[in-house]
Amino acid sequence: MTPDRRTLLSQAGLAALAVGTGALAGCSAPTRTSPGAPPAGNTLSIPASRIPVGGGVILDEANFVVTQPTEGEFKAFNKMCTHQGCPVSDIQGTDIHCKCHGAKFSIADGSVTNGPATKPLKAAKAELDGDQVKVSA
């Protein structure tokens, strides 16, 4: 018994729909929690000696910038630029730089020191515990 034309076209259409749906699902964006933040409840520790006074470090593995504006004062920020979401690239003097469009942020409070960004970097929590700086979202 051979299938009639209508059955054959119907089955072919369903097969194409199944393949197309699977292909489109592969293009969807992954679900994200707040970018740059460790999972809730997690804390990252970094040796305080790794963070220069009057400067800072970019922690690529955790998406944070940790700074020490003055001796013993530690600040942490999400490393994603508030202009268009590029990661900040380096720290020069008292500014955190984003190489994508030239935005600069203060190491003291994450405020914008040079546009095009208009919002400060998102602050994170940084506290000194012995010789370690503990950073959390």
Which sequence spans correspond to the domains of the chain?
A: 44-136
Q: What is the pLDDT along the chain (137 residues), one digit of tens a residue?
A: 566 777 766 776 666 655 555 544 444 333 333 334 444 456 889 999 999 999 999 987 788 999 999 999 999 999 888 888 788 889 999 999 898 888 999 999 999 998 888 899 999 999 999 999 999 88
Question: 98-106: which pairs have CB atoms within 8 A and are 24 or more residues apart?
Answer: 105/77
Token pair of 129 as six digits: 């515990």
Length of the chain: 137
The CATH number of 44-136, from 3.30.1050.10, 2.102.10.10, 3.30.70.1400, 2.60.40.1250, is: 2.102.10.10
Answer yes or no: pTM beyond 0.95: no
Token pair of 134 as six digits: 């503990």
Whether the CB-CB separation of 114 and 102 falls below 8 Å is answered with yes
